[in-house]
Structure 1
Amino acid sequence: MKNFSISKKFTLVSLSVTVLSIVIGYFTLNYYKNQLTNDVYNSIKSELSKSSKDRIKAKFDVGISNAISIANDSMIKKALVTNDRDLAIKALAKLSQSMKSNTPFKNIKVHIHTKDNHSFLRSWKANKFGDDLSSFRKSVVKVNNTKKAINTFEVGKAGLSIRSVVPIFSQEGEHIGSLEFMQGINSVAKAFDSNKEGFILLMDKSLAVTNINNKDVLWNKYLISQKFINNNFLEDLKSIDLTNLLSEKLQSSEKYTYTYIDIKDFENNKVGIAISAKPNSIVHLAINKATSLIFVALIILIVSLIITFIISLFNMKANIISPIKNLKMAIDNIRSNNSNANHIDVKNKDEIGDVVNSFNLYLNSIQEGISKDREVIHEASVVIEKVNAGLFNDKINKEASSKEVALLIHVINDMIEKTGSNLNIISDTLVELSHAKYDTEVPSINGVTGLIASLLDGLKVTQSTISEVMALIDDSNYKLTSSSNELSEASRRLSESSNVQAAGLEETAAAVEEITSTIYKSGENAQKMSQHANEVTKSNDDGKKLAHLTVDTMEELSNEVISIHEAISVIDQIAFQTNILSLNAAVEAATAGEAGKGFAVVAQEVRNLANRSAEAAKEIKELVESATTKAQQSKEVTDKMLNGYNQLDETIKTTIDLIAEVANASKEQQTAITQINDTVNSLDKATQENASLATNISSMAQNTQNLVQNLNNVISSTTYNEDSKKRICDPAMIFTLNRLKSDHIVFKNHNFCKCKLGADFKVTNHHNCKLGKWIDEHENEPYAKSSEWQELLKLHKGIHEKVQVTVDYYGQGRDNSEILNQAQEVENDITRVFEVLDKIKELHCE
């Protein structure tokens, strides 16, 4: 196509467009034809379905209204209340006659039920009643339970039919039963047949409750549930594929186009289908009309495109190709200098003529532009020579002719201005650092990368290192100041304590002599105490023997007192018996009369003697009991005394043991006091040496304080970042991480310097650079569990990846904006890495 002439290109393109338009038109119109055909079939499907639903709904409406009307008949209500079936038969007969005369219903079927679901009256079979409907008439059971009307398809012995079941209430509003209005579907089928269409109601064969007539079965699955049937329609229906009809909801045969709707009962269970159909003669008529219109439109489109194509070819050749050829010949003449003219003659005043005029003006502008651009280039060479020498004061002021040269001049002036400004910022920062202002913040410059950014990053690392070193010196100086003061104070106290210690040693020596004398005397006293303790032990043994003897004597005394007590008891008993005998004698004497008086006197004396004996025995008994008690108490006292002697014996043994220990301790103290005396002599010698050391330490403390004062003077002449104090706990880590910062600047510079068009190389992996190796070595440190460490891992990996992308962009010759944006992201990430490394130092010091 590139080597073709305009006429060939135009012809080829126009022909291609024409053919393509014809093909697109054909397929488009064919698509619309198919779409229209589908629309016709869908319209038929919707029309048939709607017609079936509307006509069935009309049957439902009539059924429910008739059922309600019949259920409100007073005679039927009264028949149910009084259980009078004859009255109900008369009422239904009257209603049936009225409907035959005034409605299309000539042979109505009404079934009345009691409220306990038993048949009360069947209008078509009055003699069959009383049977329980609960097991197979769910609609009747539902109405009697809920007392609400139901309008539904339901399977019965007669097949599938419309059942309108309503509750019946007495005049007082009490539920007394239900009424069912039954309809077939024949009228719907006849209505379809009158429109030369087909309709058939089919019940699911598995739901049949009576014997099945095989001639009413279709596809061995459905049972015909209507009496009126168009035989031609039925024969054609048998020829269709039922499975395809059920899946697509549309099926065409030789004579009809079929569709169907589902038939469901009041519980939404599918009980059958209603198939409707429209003759193909009607269907194909609409399709054929649409096809004819589309075919005519396609012919008109093809003819129009061909005529347009031919006219366009003639017009292009006469009005475009010929003037362009003339313009080409004129330009060739100017280029080959075959004529002296510097311009092209204008022969046409159309668009091509305008092009010639513009071309002539362009030739004039080229000559003027070349002259202006030469002047600008000369001024640019002068300014750039000054810039190379380090002078950024001048810029290019002359205006260029071409936009490209003007853009170049603008870029050069902008480079001179920005470079000078950036170097001034770096210079000012270095001056501040030279004034020992180490807290000077190194400014950030937006849009800068490469070496300028490396200079700024290097300044940041230098400022951070010096600031941290100054913070470390300041902190060390503070601690050194405190230590020197403590050292001076310690040397003073050491001198004082040495003097006090010398005096104390003298007193200690005197005290040791006194203690020695006391220890010897304590030893002698311990020997005497041991002798006295032995004598006490002997006396204690004698006391124990006497106590045992007393215990035995008291035991014997107690036994004898008990014997006396027993003897007194005998005497007391004898006195009691004697008293009884004297009473008996007095009684006998009184019986004897005068002869017994003398005996009565004797009996009285005996009784008196018995009473005195009893009193004496009583007194003796009390004395004996008192003696027994005191003997027992004496025995207890003697037992306690014996226990006391035993305890005294143990105490004496303990005392003897203690005296022996005291004696041994005295010997040990004599040995220890000798050692103490030697120690005191050693301490006296050490005290003299301490006094000499105290003098030397005092001199060292004074020198240290002078050194601290000099450091304070140096530190007071500088300033540094107070935040640096948070990360100086580990000096080795300070220099390590700051060195790793510088290494990463070198890494970036090294790779950026190698960038050039066509260069293809791989940068160092983020695990193999020095910072990456340090990260891998310290991944188990406590600060490696922080969010900052995770950010460092992500940033560090990202820097290596972005440097690689920058290198690739440079080598691929990508646009400057892409390269600079990627390089700027590298600079931003490096700055953030420096900040995160400082934060890790702080975490390490927490």
Structure 2
Amino acid sequence: MRLFGTKTNTQLKLASGEPVTQGSVALIDMVLQTQAVIWFQTDGTIIDANKNFLGAVGYAREEIVGNNHSMFVTSDYRKSKEYAAFWESLRAGEVFTDRFARVRKDGSLLWLLATYAPVRDAQGQINGVVKIATDVTPRQKAIETIAAGLEHLRNGNLGHRVASSREPDLNAICEAFNAAASQLEELVDGVKSASARISESGSKIGTASEALSTRTETQAATLEETAAAVEELTSNAATAAENARNVTDIAVETQEAAKKGGQVVDDVIAAMTRISKSSGEISQIITVIEDLAFQTNLLSLNAGVEAARAGNAGRGFAVVASEVRALAQRSADSARDIKSLITESSEHVAGGVDLVQRANTELSTIFDRVGTITNNIKEIAGGLKEQSATLTEINTAVAELDVVTQRNAAMVLENMTISKTLSSDTEALFDQVAVFQTSQGKMHAGGWTHARPEHSQAGMLAETF
């Protein structure tokens, strides 16, 4: 049986035509000792296999010799065009080196890093196929494990960890993957927690902003009404202050007129005093007239007595004396009447003087009270003036406060917009981090839910034969 070359009567040659040397034999022996080797006819019929290959597939030599290569592949692949094309290419002289998936006797999957090469005879014709392979199933499983971990990572499952591998280089990748996943999981958990706090804070800010907006609008409306009321009060205060100034002027004029009235009363009292004095003087004159009338009457009596003594000679003188006596009597009577009238007039004048003096006293009291009223009105006018000035300042301050409140209301509305934007951005952040699953759970925009592991397998590497 020719395995690696062509056997002649004198020497063994390799398929390349080179003679088999001691070094070539050593190399072939090393391959047979370290690699899994199997030989086929060009139609895939198994010629032989070494113990390494038999150990890898789990068959005994007699179980495979004479059977076809297809016993090592899945039924689906066995029926595929790719499998037929693979053997057609081998019969055409192509060489394939790749990682191949094969089926063990127990049905488990076996991965071989193998080279399929045609075997040529002395004339260069292909009369067989040899396969030299290395069992890389543990390595492939490690790669699949890492691929599955990457698939979990792609799907956002940060709680998945890959098992360690017996392959040192791949185990380093596994450890690096687990460390990176742990760090990323911690980071995403932090982002989720921060997002939840931001969402809660944003919701509170939004609620507070809405409440503040409502209160600010109410305050602005109340302040506007207050500003209108203060403005009206300021106008009324200014009008009252102006009226108070006018009343003050009138009170001052009234006080001056009252002073002048008091002067007139004083003049009346002085005139009545003079009248009373003149009445007294008239009474004295009437007294003199009464005395004259009395003397005249006495003289007329004496003249009548003397005329009676004279007889007829004194008769005419007696008549004259009688008439004089009558005139004296009438003068005395008139003087008494005048005196009585003057006395009554003097009493009336005295009463008038008393009344005028009482009126003067009352007018003095009125003058004092008018002065007090005038001073009070002046103070009230001054107070109203100060109140008007103060209300003007308050009106200005309220107007400025109204403007500030309106600005605050606008700022509150702007803050509400910012708060809504923050909430929207937070929800968007929720949506972005919600795809990540950690050991603590999975977060959605509505809150946290327990993580549900998603099982996925890495895609099988394409089989090339």
* TM-score over 0.5 (shorter chain): no
TM-score (norm 2): 0.34
TM-score (norm 1): 0.20
- Larger Rg, first or second structure (1 or 2): 2
Higher relative contact order, structure no. (Cα contacts within 8 Å, ≥ 6 residues apart): 2
